[in-house]
Amino acid sequence: MKKYLFLGLSLLMLFSCDPEQTKTKQYVVNGQRLYMQYCTNCHQADGRGVGKLYPPLNGSDFLKDQAATICAIRYGLKGEIMVNGQLYDQPMPAMNTLKPLDIAEIATFISITWGGGSQRVTVDQVNEILSQCKPVD
């Protein structure tokens, strides 16, 4: 099934006339692959998280803060956070090995898929935000 989904999205990209739209679709596809590799263990493939242990991304109010999302992907989280009115207190590991492009693609995927976004997160945006983030102790 995944093979056919990827093929379908690939074909859509080939026939798109708008280069920006094509690039956004490419970010979503690559972001989904990276999300499946790095994020599904805790946040699950459907983005719904794990009960009161790991917060959802699907429909999450946390995603409204793009800077916080990008900083969390790079540097992780430690301490309590509130997501959709629920308190969570499990550490999220830093993903220091991800390149800014990887982070942009993951952020684009989760924003468009579950956060109500419609725009691609660019590498320039990620670099600007990361320059202002502080690593988690």
- CA atoms 13, 17, 18, 19: torsion sign: positive
Residue 103 belongs to a domain: yes
Which pTM does this prediction carry?
A: 0.86
Residue 60 belongs to a domain: yes
82: enclosing H helix or E strand? strand 81-83
Query: How far is the C-alpha of 112 from the C-alpha of 23, rounded, in Å?
Result: 13
CATH number for the domain harbouring residue 18:
1.10.760.10
pLDDT value, residue 5? 52
Residue 44 belongs to a domain: yes
Number of domains in the chain: 1
Q: Which domain holds residue 113?
A: 2-130
28-40 pLDDT, tens digit per residue, is 999 999 999 999 9
